Amino acid sequence: MELRTEFVTRFHRSLATPEWMTGLRRFTEECLRNVGGLQGIEGTGTVTAKDNEEKNMGPYDSDKYEFRIHALVNRTAGDSEVDNYESALVWEPKQNNFRLRWDRVTTAEHRRARELNDRLSEMASTPQGAKTVVEVLRATNCPICGSRIRIEYYPEGQVWWGRCPSNRNHFELERWYQDWKDSPVSWEDHIVDRTCPSCGSAKAVVGILYGLVRDTSKIDDAVWTLGGCMVGSDRWHCKACSKRF
């Protein structure tokens, strides 16, 4: 990993001796090996100080030893894309070493997932656009893991999601309509998306309604079953086999 400094203060520029930079590079490369999600440790990065005010470089100012790393990390040979790496670290002069506060990786796949989410979110701002988005998601695989995006609907059609079934942190797009009856995105049009994974029934599947319901007589049991006050991860309940999923 090739690192260059973007230090502003005299204190930081004098701190960045060749020996100090070698230690920083080795420490960063070790962090890159341990963070996970990266295909290598080669690349280029910048080192910046958390505090760039000369007045805060006194002997009792600890923030002067805090730094940020922003790096572009190469992928496998032949792959022109790069992954992003960020970290926050502290130099401990008495121990003559660095200590990691946090680090994170944003892979090219994560960037594509975010770009897809942003593009489809803008398209879904109208009912007709939402219908187009649903069809796009039906034919789209998760940009991160390759799983086919799953479309889910709450039974009345008012809320719908497109999410990665393997990990919702990979991709999730949620939309809500106040007047669901006028929405082209209806759960009845996509009943296959709520097929019970246990018995294969679709007609017997109803939504799970979480939260406090004071008047249960207003709940249509052909559409809902009560899930309790604590919101769970399951969305559906199959009345045929009692499976929740």
Q: What is the pLDDT of residue 168?
A: 80
What's the token pair of residue 184? 């082209």
Q: What is the pLDDT of residue 200?
A: 86
Q: Average pLDDT for consecutive 10-residue bins of the chain (245 residues)?
A: 94 94 96 91 94 84 91 89 95 94 94 92 80 84 89 65 85 71 52 75 82 76 82 83 90
Domain positions in the chain are 2-106, 107-193, 195-245
Reported for 34-38, long-range contacts at CB under 8 A and 24+ positions apart, including other chains, are 35/85, 35/103, 35/104, 35/105, 36/105, 37/83, 37/105, 37/107, 38/73, 38/83, 38/85, 38/105, 38/107
Cα–Cα distance, 243 to 79 (Å, whole number) = 44
Q: What is the pLDDT of residue 150?
A: 83
Q: What is the pLDDT of residue 61?
A: 82
Relative to beta strand 150-153, strand 97-106 is unpaired
The burial of 203, by beta-carbon neighbours within 10 Å (0-12 exposed, 13-18 middle, 19 or more buried), is given as exposed
